[in-house]
Copies of this chain bind each other. A is one copy, B any other.
Amino acid sequence: MKMTKSVKNILNNYESDNAGTKGNLARILMHGKLAGTGKLVILPVDQGYEHGPARSFSPNPEAYDPHYHYKLAIDAGLNAYAAPLGMLEAGADTFAGQIPTILKLNSANSLATLKDQAVHGSIEDALKLGCLAIGFTIYPGSEFQFEMMEELKELALEAKSLGLVVVVWSYPRGGNLSKEGETAMDVCAYAAHIAALLGAHIIKVKPPTAHIEQKDAQASYKNLDISTLSNRVKHVMQSSFNNRRIVVFSGNAFTDTQGLLNDIKEIRDGGGNGSIIGRNTFQRPREEAIAMLNQVIDIYKGKN
């Protein structure tokens, strides 16, 4: 398939990047069923690290096997598959060249007492495993946020100089943030903006709610209609360099399919670039997951 105008236009926004990074970004955008549309769906599987194996995989025990996720991403025609080191190592050779992969370089876990993450992978690992991108989480608000941003700075600089794409999970957490505040409109837009300022190529945020967390920000939202998710997504895109950066939205905990699909429609209508959906896919039987992902893909294709 030849490169489309949609993809070419997106690449043009990454004007400081070398051809290596643009090429890898193109490979992600030109892969799978959404190839060429400028939209993308990514399968992330770091929940085993974040929440533990049983909480993640017991609903669908086949998912304990790392090969399961490679196959799911390939067979569902997704754009990319993201996971931590060991998960990718366990299938890197079998599936080499079959699906763009993203090496998630840091993770937290539910035994942790600190709002930080461990950096457990490197750029060299990413190149050896044939990954096209690295993934990194920051927790804006946390008392470790500056340290995390500094780790990202080093990794992103090296990644970009070697032609890799940088995906930033920007998840506000800790500090003075309330639980509700973690997904507040102002905080989510802020998180996306910070990720863009840190040089992310692809930004992952949670779908924002209509809540405004920061007192100082309330005035700025008075004249903005954020009553619908699509409008909120629109504001996140605006905050991501006026649509110059790719933003994908997470699916979060397992929800009913219809609710998820409605959210996807709003993300699409708000101009979001796509979704990164983990638990909602691998926690249901494979055939059901593929069917649901097909529906998601159809929405991004504009069919619904």
Contact = CB atoms under 8 A, between A and B. Distances in A.
Interface of A: 2-3, 7, 11, 13-27, 30, 48-49, 51-55, 58-59, 61, 64-66, 74, 84-94, 96-98, 107, 109-114, 116-122, 124-125, 127-131, 140-141, 143, 145-147, 149-150, 152-153, 157, 161-163, 172, 175-177, 186-187, 189-190, 192-194, 196-200, 214, 216-217, 220-221, 223-224, 235, 238-239, 241-242, 244-245
Number of copies: 5
Given A30-B97, A220-B58, A238-B61, A53 B193 contact: yes
B55 A216 contact: yes
Given A26-B97, A53-B238, A109-B194, A244 B90 contact: yes
Nearest to A49: B197
Contact of A16 (B15, B129, B146, B239): B129
A175 B112 CA distance: 7
29 contacts: A3-B97, A16-B19, A18-B130, A20-B131, A22-B130, A26-B96, A26-B98, A30-B97, A49-B197, A52-B214, A52-B220, A64-B242, A65-B242, A84-B198, A85-B198, A85-B199, A90-B241, A90-B245, A109-B145, A110-B214, A111-B176, A112-B146, A113-B141, A114-B143, A118-B147, A118-B149, A119-B150, A120-B153, A124-B161
Which A-B residue pairs are the 9 nearest by beta carbons? Answer: A26-B97, A23-B130, A19-B92, A15-B93, A118-B149, A118-B146, A65-B242, A22-B96, A111-B141
Nearest to A116: B146
